[in-house]
Amino acid sequence: MSDLQTTFAGLKLRNPIIISSSGLTNTAVKNEKLEAAGAGAIVLKSLFEEQITIEADRLRNPSYYPEGSDYLVEYIRNHALSEYLELIKESKKVCTIPVIASINCYRDSEWVDFAKQIEQAGADALEINILALQTDLQYAYGSFEQRHIDILRHVKQTVSIPVIMKLGSNLTNPIALIDQLHANGAGAVVLFNRFYQPDIDIEKMEQTSGNVFSNVDDLSLSLRWVSIASSLVTKIDYAASGGIHKPEDMVKAILAGASAVEICSVIYQNTSAFIGESNRFTESWMQRKGFKHISQFKGLLNAKDIEGINVWERTQFLKYFSNKV
C-alpha cells in the first residue's frame, strides 16, 4: 500500500491536500465535512486587516468625541477577532486534522498581536498572507519584501506554533525572500496567493470583477517557482497553490518539490469529491511507479541542473518553436 502521509511546516498530514482559506472553511460544520471528504488539513477563512480597517473607518463619525470614535474602532476589531477565535475553537472540536488559522495583513502593526490569541484558541499553525500591489511613485525597492520579514519576525516573537507565509506572485525574486523567511523562522511557504481579478464592462462602462476562480493554466506559475525554490532553499516546506484542477496536478506539484497543495477553486466548481479522487489517483500512480512514500518522489523533477539544461528557468519559447519548424 502507498502511504500519502506528508509533513508540512512541522505538521503531520495524512495526505498532501490542504483546503485553502475561503468561504469553504468559514464554519466548523463545513470543516468537519471537508475532513470527512478526505482533506489532509484546512486553512480557515482569513481574518482580513484591510476589511476590518475599512469597516472601522466607515463607521467612524467625526461628530463623536475622539474617545468615542476610538472606542468604536476598538470594538469592531475585538468583535471580529472574537468571532474568529470562536471559529478556531469550534473547528478544533470537530476536526482531527490540522486546523490552520489565517491572517491577511499588510502592515507590521498591532494586528499581528492577534497571533497570540489565535494560538491560545487552539490553531495548529498560522498562515500569513501579505498581498498588496506596490504602486507608490516613491516606492523604495525592497521595502515590500522587508515588510514580509518584519511581520514574520514580529509574529514569531509572539507564538510558538508553525508560521506559514503565503506569497503573492508580484515579487522580483521570490527565492531571495524565501531564503530570508526561512532564516527568520518560517516553517513553510505557499506559492502563490491569488489577486483579485479586475475586468471592464464596456457596455456599462464600469469596472467589474473578473474570474474569481483559478484555471488549469495557473498551475505552470506555481510549478516553476516551487521547483526553483525547492532546489535552492531546501530546508523549508512548500505548498503549490493555484491551478490544481485535475487529480494528476497533485503529483506534478510533489514532483516539482511541494510537500502539499492548497486547493479551493476546483471544489467550488465541482464538489469536495475531488479530494478523494486526487488521493486515489495519487495512490494508484505511486503503486504503478513503485513508490511507497511521498518523500521518495518529492522534488525528483525540481530545478536541479539536469544535463546542463534547467527547463524551469527558461523564459523564452526556443525549445517549443524549434520543435515546430
- pLDDT value of position 236: 98
Mean predicted confidence (pLDDT) in 116-134: 90
* Most distant CA atoms of the chain, gap in Å: 74
Packed helices 219-232 and 174-183: angle between N→C axes, nearest 10 degrees: 50
Q: Which residue has the cell 523549508?
A: 236
Percent of all residues in the chain with a pLDDT value above 90, rounded to a whole number: 65
pLDDT digits (tens, 9 = 90+) for 242-255: 999 999 999 999 99
Mean pLDDT of the residues in the chain? 87
Chain segment 296-319, per-residue pLDDT in tens:
999 999 987 545 446 666 655 555
Phi and psi angles of residue 27, each rounded to the nearest 5 degrees, phi first: -140, 155
| C-alpha–C-alpha distance, residues 110 and 101, integer Å | 17
Partners of 6 in the beta sheet? 13
Third-level CATH fold of 6-322: TIM Barrel (3.20.20)
The pLDDT tens digits of the residues spanning 160-194 come to 999 999 999 988 899 999 999 999 999 999 999 87
Report the 10 Å Cβ neighbour count for 93. Answer: 10
Say yes or no to pLDDT of 77 above 80: no
Residue predicted with more confidence, 142 or 110: 142
What is the arithmetic mean of pLDDT over 25-43? 98
Residue range 193-223, pLDDT digits in tens: 877 778 888 999 999 888 878 888 899 999 9
CA 303-275-252 angle, 5° bins: 15
**The pLDDT value given to residue 79:** 75
What residues does each domain of the chain span?
6-322
CB environment 276-297: b (16+ within 10 A), e (fewer): ebbbebbbebbeeeebeebeeb
